[in-house]
Amino acid sequence: MKKIVLLVMIAVSGMYYAQVSVFAAMNSNDPNVVQSFITANPKHPKVPELKKKLQGMRYTVVSSSGSGNDTEAKPKVSKLTTNKLEKNISKSKTSESAEKTAAILTNLFNDNKYSKEAVLQIVNRSSCELVVKVAGKKKYYNLNVPSKNQNYILIEKGNYNLTTSICGASYTSNKSITASTIITLGNK
């Protein structure tokens, strides 16, 4: 009888240690550990936070690998017009977005080629949320773009390096922003 109880205790403790704890997943830098916790515990309250962390991990893994096996995302770049922006901005509802919208519209309506700022619009046609990193000589921005949606940012004109991960496909591009611009990203 003692042998059976001992055997059951060993089996239960082995199963307990085989599972990834929430603390291990939160502190880990390994995407496989985080993914295994999310898969094993889909209803845990920390899963949304871990999913965001996992998406950031996948971005750094894809962009830093440098291997030729990564898929490349191809953007569609077009000029941003006042009509396109007015149609898209009418959906904004919060006061913060109203201030942002006012600054963007002021920039577009003034249309001064000597202005030091330009509007950069990122349109996300993919089913994954994007975090577009816009890095210039003086400034650095992270622009969150929800899936099947868009976002804007008012930036100083100049040369920028844009990087993101579109559902696992890496995108890196050097852009010279001299006027308001739309960049459409998708994984098709």
Residue 18's pLDDT band (cuts 50, 70, 90):
very low
42-92 pLDDT per residue, tens: 888 888 888 888 777 654 433 344 444 445 556 666 676 767 666 666 554
pTM of the model: 0.48
For residue 12, pLDDT beyond 70: no
- CATH code of domain 76-185: 2.60.40.10
Kindly list the domain boundaries of the chain, sorted by start residue.
Answer: 2-65, 76-185
d(CA 148, CA 185): 10
d(CA 123, CA 64): 24
* Burial classification of residue 18, based on how many CB atoms lie within 10 Å of its CB (0-12 exposed, 13-18 middle, 19 or more buried): exposed
* Out of 75-79, 142-146, 152-156, 161-165, least confident range: 75-79
d(CA 32, CA 25): 9
Q: Which amino acid is at 71?
A: T
Angle between helices 47-65 and 31-40 (to 10 degrees): 150
